Chains A and B, each alone.
Chain A
Amino acid sequence: EVHLVESGGGLVQPGRSLTLSCTASGFNLEDYTLSWVRQAPGKGLEWVGFIRSQTYGGTTEYAASVKGRFTISRDDSKNIAYLQMNSLKTEDTAVYYCTRDPYDYWGRGRLVTVS
């Protein structure tokens, strides 16, 4: 059975850094592009970025709002993807979900509070 589980997160001060992990099970993460999507409290869904599978170069794409501050990486040997968030702002406060392309399975999400 496919599962995605986010870990990390919590409360962090503005300007500081935080890293989220997304652990996959039930499938080979290496075969998939992995995306991060966030949801600010009481708001809608916002795509954050993704990392392509190695088949497609393992390259990354980011939303304009996080480009240059967030970095997505992957360790396919461990079936884990990461979202490193630097220079955090209060507006980055949200629940962060990892989801595999084509957005068919999602993790439960982790709350990141920047305050």
Chain B
Amino acid sequence: DIVMTQTPVSLSVTPGQPASISCRSSQSLLYTDGKIYLDWFLQRPGQSPQLLIYEVFNRFSGVPERFSGSGSGTDFTLEISRVEAEDIGVYYCMQALQLPPTFGQGTKLEIK
């Protein structure tokens, strides 16, 4: 199975400041179709996960522009340009290249 490793495990950010979460996969997520199957999700407290970013850098419908994704191969980053209070929760990366799909262990974002 592809192992997904996220860092940091948690971070505390002042509103208005940027935040960055890293995700590393144990093998390249580049498929023969040229796409990279790496997604990012946010799970707010008490809620189900919601898709933020798909295929590394594509924002899902309704996701604010302050969220952006980047990366290639095995190293990926989710950035929040200016954190807001509603951004609290646990962020997960997930690879959908190979069965079984696997998730990172999660990064908990708190507000200072």
Contact = CB atoms under 8 A, between A and B. Distances in A.
Given A104-B60, A106-B48, A61 B94 contact: no
A63 B100 contact: yes
B76 interface: no
Given A61-B100, A63-B100, A103 B51 contact: yes
B54 A102 contact: yes
A46 B103 contact: yes
What band does the interface of chain A fall in when counting residues whose beta carbon is under 8 Å from B?
A: 10 to 19
B92 interface: yes
B58 to A, nearest CB: 10
B73 interface: no
Nearest to A6: B48
A44 interface: yes
A108 interface: yes
5 contacts: A45-B41, A47-B101, A102-B96, A106-B50, A108-B48
Interface of B: 39, 41, 43, 47-51, 54, 60, 90, 92, 94, 96, 99-106
Given A47-B100, A103-B49, A106-B49, 7 more contacts: A44-B90, A44-B104, A44-B105, A45-B43, A45-B49, A97-B49, A103-B41
